[in-house]
Each structure stands twice: as C-alpha cells, then as structure tokens.
Amino acid sequence: MSHRKYMAEAENQKKLLRLIQEGRLDLFKEELQRDENMTKEVRRKHYGKSGDTLMHYAARHGHLNVLTHLVETLEMDIEMFNNDYKRPLHEAASMGHKDCVLYLLDKGAEIDCLKKADWTPLMMACTRKNMEVIKDLIEHGANPLLKNKDGWNCFHIASREGDPQIIQYLLTVSPSSWNTESKIKRTPLHTAAMHGCFDVVKTLLERCQYEPDSRDKCGVTPFMDAIQNGHIDIARLLLEKYKEGHTSTIQTLLSLGADLHAKDGKNRSALHMACAGQHAACVWILLQAGLQDSLDDTGTFARQLAKKPDVLQLFKGISVSA
C-alpha cells in the first residue's frame, strides 16, 4: 500500500470515529455507502491503543440510534471487547447511559462480564452514582457480591463515591453486601471514612454491624483513616458511636479506632497521622480525648511532625515522655 493511500485510509477511519462520537448516523451511513470494503472492515476493526470498536464508542457516548444501527444493520457482536476486555455494556454502564444499557441487555449482553481487573458493569455504574442504571443492572440479574481483583465489590465502590441513597438501595436488595473486606482487609467503612463521605459513614454505622476497631493489613482503623485525612466530622461521628455503646472510661476505648491508642504497623498513632497532615482540629480532639504522644518505630513523637503554628500551639504546656 502506498503511503498516500495509507494516509487517506487513516483519515477516513478518523472521520468515521468522529461521526460515531458525535452521533451523526446519517453521515456515517453515507461514508460507508461509498466503500463496500469499509463496511466489512468496520464490523471487526479495533481502533487505537485501547482497541475500542465502533460499538464501544457508540455506547460510551450514549448514541442509542448509532448503537442500534451497528447491531441490527452491520450485525456487530455486542460482546466485542477492547484491549482491557471492556464490552460495550461496561461503557454504557460507566457513563450512565440508561437507554443504551437497557438495549444491550435486551439484546442479550452478558450482565456480569468482566473487564481487566475483574470489574463488572455494575461496579462501573457505581463509580458514577447513577441510581437508575444501578437498579436496571440489578433487576436484570447483576450480582452485587462479585469482587474485583482488589477484593472490592460494588458496595465498596459505592461507599467511596458517597451517595447514601445508593448505599441504602444496595443494602435493601443485597443485605449482606456490606460484610466484605478488600484483599488488604479494608472495609467499606474504611473507604467511606477515608474519602470523607459523612452521610455514607452515618448510614453504615446505623445499618451495618462493623467492628469499630477493624484494622486493615497496615493496622489502620476507620477512625484513623478519618483523622489522617482531616475529616473531623467523621472522626467525631465514629467517636460518638463508640461512646453510645460503652459506659467505661476513655482508657477503655478499645473499639472504633477507638482503641484510641491503636498503632499502625510502624507504631504510629492517630496523633502521628493528624500531626503529619497538619490537621489542627483533629489533633485537638485526640488530645482532649486523652491520647498521649508516643514514639513510633523511627523514634519520632507525633508533635515533631507538626509544622503549622495552630498545630504546634496545641502542644504548648504538654510535656513529652517516652
């Protein structure tokens, strides 16, 4: 093939992709009518580094009319996958295109197909906080308990995104979905606390039976996650939840991270994390709760990590002892 012809074909392919992305079906049809060989080629062609097909582009951009044409006129396979093993259903679910999701399901798309890292369409939908698409997938048989390669199920993902209505819905249709840990032993409560999802943390504490002092493989609890990331409102919520369930003194805070005195794998306390993050309000709460400064495995006190004046001020008048 001559260089000129190769360049011309490349331009034609770019044009077709642009028309699909823009949903200009009439112009797309006109282009194919000019070249019968092109019609045959686009049915099986994968584009670019991602290896997407025209089906992927149509589903991703939510053009149902284009998707219908590709399936029913060009007879493209709805299960074609790209280099990451994504199917068109993954794309439609990920971007929240309800009509495309329902069309693909009606045409028999595999509901729990796996892309790279074992993500299902339902997991993808949970990243977008689109309740309607999540409901459609579950009502068509999607399994909310499946886990990806990191050990996350869709409940974990929804907890990270922070929509309490989706959390409530998932707990209704799959009551055990909360009871899960990732491969590094992180629960959805860890995830919600880390990402500052206050309303989700509140829902999880109300409806789920998490062990409040549950530690991941690094020894971090949800309480420590909240402190480390400066989510003072969540730290308070977790501490209050603990106090409601126990009547003993602060020295017995053996729950919730509350073993307030819990240490991670490097012997760092929640106070170390709060000081490292320069979160003055969190440091104040910990000191008020009675947490004493201590040495980590490197011989460092938490106060030595404090840099900001408002954090340093909190330690004035407090003696340090190993």
* Domain boundaries, position 240: 218-322
Position 103 in a domain = no
Q: Could you tell me the mean pLDDT of each successive run of 10 residues in the chain, 322 residues long?
A: 62 88 94 84 92 97 97 96 97 97 98 97 95 98 97 97 97 97 97 97 94 83 84 82 43 46 84 86 80 92 90 74 46
Number of separate domains in the chain: 1
281 HSE (CA, 13 A, CB side): 10
The pLDDT tens digits for 130-141 are 999 999 999 999
**Buried (b) or exposed (e) across 22-59, using 16+ Cβ within 10 A?**
ebebeebeebbeeeeebeeebbeeebeeebbbbbbbbb
- DSSP states along 21-79: HHT-HHHHHHHHHT-HHHHHHHTT--BTTTTB-HHHHHHHHT-HHHHHHHHHTS---TT
The per-residue pLDDT for 319 is 57
Position 295 in a domain = yes
Position 233 in a domain = yes
Position 108 in a domain = no
Rounded to whole angstroms, the Cα distance separating 66 from 134 reads 23
Alpha helix stretches (DSSP H) within the chain: 3-22, 25-33, 36-42, 54-61, 64-72, 88-94, 98-106, 121-126, 131-139, 154-161, 164-173, 188-194, 198-207, 222-228, 232-245, 270-276, 280-288, 309-314
Position 48 in a domain = no
Position 304 in a domain = yes
The per-residue pLDDT for 89 is 98
The per-residue pLDDT for 295 is 94
The per-residue pLDDT for 318 is 65
Position 315 in a domain = yes
What Rg, from alpha-carbon coordinates, does the chain have? 26
Position 134 in a domain = no
pTM over 0.85: no
The per-residue pLDDT for 244 is 45
The per-residue pLDDT for 134 is 98
The per-residue pLDDT for 256 is 43
Instruction: Check which CATH number belongs to the domain holding 301 and give it.
Output: 1.25.40.20
